[in-house]
Amino acid sequence: AAYPRSGFLWDGAARAGVSYRVYGEFTEFGMVPSRGTIPSLNGHVAPGFRGYDLTVPDQTRIDEWLKEFREFEQQGTLPQLMIVWLPRDHTAGTRPGSPTPQAMVADNDLALGRLVETVSHSRYAGDTVIVATEDDAQNGPDHVDAHRTIAVLAGAFVRRGTVDHTLYSTVSLLRTIELILGIPPLTQFDAAAQPLLGAFTDRPAPFTYTASTPRQSLVALNAPTAPGAAESLRLPLNEVDEVPPAVLNRILWRAIKGDVPMPVAPATRR
């Protein structure tokens, strides 16, 4: 994909005088310390935070984020925008010796939970919003549409116990962040996007959260006899999103659902 002409969200932040810190996005694979791959990330990348490398647990990543967060909190210098990438829910399919898909997703969930827990018990709990979503919204259909994905928000000004069914897009998340931080739109598309207004309230409530311990083991490994094991060994896992989605979807379905037939994509049925 081509880089956007007006830059990325952090470029907009820089132009607006908004401080930012990036954890994992656009960093070189396997490099320690981590280094950004574009000039606007120079000096803004957490060097100890590992980018895309599925052999590294997300717990290791969140440990590094937590270390920096505590330092920022102690000094009162928390960046206004923090972008944190937790990539392990991509999974390694059923590659023998790698953690199972269930273990990798549980690792990812716990890492996000620890991030929310940390912020909610910090001095910044009252004026911070956490916006989490998955990438690859088109990486496989569900029972409704091939473009659906989830977004989870947390913070003192976020409505509790609410599921907002408004039709938003990923660009809606971008627009919401821009409005909160005073960053002008990057393009005509985020300028016209519907912000996530239904997710917020003007009456803040105490924001506290404790991460749940997964019932699923984080270290369970794929067996050599797992469904799709041989095929998973051939997957190009060293680069993000190089795995053919249909192949990985089929492997994951068999690993989790067994012999249950994989549903036909809704678009195919039409």
Give the pLDDT score at 127: 96
Give the pLDDT score at 28: 87
Q: Which domains does the chain have, with CATH numbers?
A: 9-269 (3.40.720)
Enter the pTM of the model.
0.93
Give me the percent of the chain exceeding a pLDDT of 90. Answer: 81
Does residue 268 have a pLDDT over 60? no
Does residue 270 have a pLDDT over 60? no
Read off the pLDDT of residues 219-247 as tens digits, 9 standing for 90 and up: 999 999 999 999 999 999 998 889 998 89
Give the pLDDT score at 137: 65
The pLDDT of 86-110, averaged and rounded, is 97
Read off the pLDDT of residues 163-182 as tens digits, 9 standing for 90 and up: 999 999 999 999 999 999 99
Give me the percent of the chain exceeding a pLDDT of 70. Answer: 93
Residue 88 confidence class, pLDDT cut points 50, 70, 90: very high
Separation in Å, CA 262 to CA 58, 92, 252 = 29, 19, 10
Whether the Cβ atoms of residue 91 and residue 104 lie closer than 8 Å to each other: yes
